[in-house]
Copies of this chain bind each other. A is one copy, B any other.
Amino acid sequence: MTTRELTIAFDADDTLWHNETIFEAVHERYREMLSRYHDTATVDRTLFATEMRNLDRYGYGVKGFMLSAIETAIDLTEGKISTAEIRTLLTLGQDMLAHPVELLDGVAETVATLAASHRLLVITKGDLRDQERKVAKSGLSAHFRHIEIVSDKTESSYAAILRRHDIRPDAFVMIGNSLKSDILPVLALGATGIHIPYHLTWAHEHAEPPPSSAGRFHEIKSIRALPALLSEM
C-alpha cells in the first residue's frame, strides 16, 4: 500500500474551521440574559441537560440548539423571560447560521497540498443546510471528492461511508478534534485516527483517549504537522 492510496477524511467544525468559539459567544450572551435568575453553572448544566434530552429528536446543529435554549430559558425563569428576550435568542441563532466561515490556521495550505496526492473527504455532522453552506463558503470544496453529512458519527455511520466508497479501513485516515466522534469509532473499525485538539470542546464530545491502538492513533497540535505524519505512515 502506498501513501497515495490512502483516503483522508476531515471532520469540519473545529477541525477545518472555527465553530465552538461561535457557540461559546452565544452561550456567554445566554448566561448574561439569565443571570438575574440563576448562576452560570446552573444555566450551563440545565441547558446541556435539555440538549441531551432533545438530541434524539433534534439531532446536532444550530437549530436544535436554539430550540433547546428557548425551552431552557422559559423553564429556568418559570416563564418570566420576556418575549423580547426570546426574539433576541432567535436572532442570535440566525446570526450563527450566517456567520462567516473562518478557517483554522494552516488549513487552506495543508488541504490544498494533500489534495494533490490523496483522495480527500469531509465527514461532518449537524444540520444539512448549514454544513453545506459552510463547505461552500470555506473555499475548500474543490479539494474534496465527497462531502458526507451524517446525523451522527458512530462506528456504523463510518462503516456505511467506507462501504459506499469502497474504502478499506486499513487505507482510511480520519482527522478531527473530537476523540468521541472522529477517533474512537474509526479505531474500532481498524482505521487510523489523527486527533487535532481544539481549544474548546463541547461537553457532549468529551472522551478518554484510546488505551492502545497498535500505532493507529496519533495526536498532533496543528494541521500543519499532517503531511509529515502521513508521509511517515
Contacts and interface: CB of A to CB of B under 8 A. Distances in A.
Interface of A: 54, 56-59, 63-64, 66-67, 70-71, 74-75, 77, 79-84, 86-87, 90, 93-94, 97-98, 127-130, 132, 149-151
B67 A87 contact: no
A81 B74 CA distance: 13
Number of copies: 2
Contacts of A63: 58, 63-64, 67, 127
13 contacts: A56-B129, A57-B98, A58-B63, A63-B67, A67-B67, A74-B83, A75-B87, A79-B82, A79-B83, A79-B84, A79-B87, A83-B83, A128-B128
Given A57-B97, A59-B127, A128-B151, A90 B70 contact: yes
Given A66-B67, A81-B83, A58 B90 contact: no
Nearest to A59: B129
A127 B62 CA distance: 12
B71 A87 contact: yes
B151 A57 contact: no
What are the 9 tightest A-B residue pairs by CB atom distance, in nearest-first order? A59-B129, A63-B63, A57-B97, A79-B83, A129-B151, A128-B151, A74-B83, A74-B87, A128-B128
A106 to B, nearest CB: 29
